[in-house]
Copies of this chain bind each other. A is one copy, B any other.
Amino acid sequence: MIKKITLIGSGNVAHNLGKAFVLNGFEVVEVYSRTKANAIALADKLDAKYTNNLSEINEESGLYVIATTDNSIEEIAKQLKLKSHFIVHTSGSVSIDVFENKFSHFGSFYPLQTFTKSHQADFKEIPICLEGNNEKNLELLKGLASKLSTKTVELTSAQRQKLHLSAVFVSNFANYMQVIGEELCEEQQVDFDLLRPLIKEVFEKNQKGKAIDNQTGPALRGDSFTMNKHLGLLKDKKELHQLYKLLSDMIQNK
């Protein structure tokens, strides 16, 4: 069973995950960040040691968790001198192949949620997606994850990558649709709050059912009269015009 954990990284995921480990009885023994001040800030919060030197990382932990930006994981893995230890990353988009031939024990520990340092997330409802390089390591990760969350799931790297891509659409891009709506309303001094009941209705319908069954609007109806009016309103906004047309085409082609 895993008891001692070393955290590599000091961003939003590291802050939230580190705190969740401690709150659930695990010991975070050390925090690494290449920026000393960031390492200290998180280490203080977790009552842990800190370092900003990868080659000085302790060798006493049962698990080393890389919670850094996706593009730094491979380089960090190269530099770590922990071949016989157990290492995971928290990335949605990086395959665990990144650890192959460098470590004997490795996997993925991906909590699917948006995190901010300022707000400690409640992990109980957050899905944690797990992968291990063998059955024993997967079981060890399950044991750890199930202490944090009621929703743990085993996913291959390919599945996790598709899930992460889906998350970009359903959260980042869906959020951006609202950014666009806010801007269009501002242009005409229309109170955006007028749209909130509609947004709530769509959200609630989709929590119960599938979005494909709840699609509405001019594109779905093939209402070219209204679509042309809308495109006319966007004629001076090249990218928005293109976006409206592309999405309407995609909905109609379905």
**A interface, CB within 8 angstroms of B:** 69-71, 93, 112-114, 125-127, 129, 151, 153, 155, 158-159, 161-185, 187-192, 194-203, 206-207, 210-212, 214-220, 223, 225-226, 229-230, 233-234, 239-240, 242-244, 246-247, 249-251, 253-254
From A212, which residue of chain B is reached at the shortest CB distance?
Answer: B179
Which B residues are CB-close (under 8 A) to A192? Answer: 166, 210
| CB-based contact A166/B191 at 8 Å | no
| CB-based contact B251/A246 at 8 Å | no
Task: Count the copies.
Answer: 2
Which B residues are CB-close (under 8 A) to A200? Answer: 207
CA–CA, A145 and B164, complex, Å: 45
| CB-based contact B172/A195 at 8 Å | no
CA–CA, A170 and B234, complex, Å: 16
CA–CA, A244 and B113, complex, Å: 20
| CB-based contact A71/B223 at 8 Å | yes
A69, A159, A169 interface centre (most CB from chain B within 10 Å): A169
| CB-based contact B127/A197 at 8 Å | yes
A216-B171 CB under 8 A given contacts A113-B201, A189-B159, A197-B112: yes
**CB proximity of A192 to chain B, nearest CB, Å:** 8
| CB-based contact A172/B212 at 8 Å | no
From A225, which residue of chain B is reached at the shortest CB distance?
Answer: B71
| CB-based contact A166/B153 at 8 Å | no
What 10 A-B pairs have minimum CB-CB distances, sorted nearest first?
A172-B217, A71-B225, A178-B211, A166-B181, A170-B181, A174-B177, A162-B188, A166-B184, A127-B194, A159-B188
From A231, which residue of chain B is reached at the shortest CB distance?
Answer: B165
CA–CA, A41 and B46, complex, Å: 66
Which B residues are CB-close (under 8 A) to A199? Answer: 170-171, 174, 203, 206-207
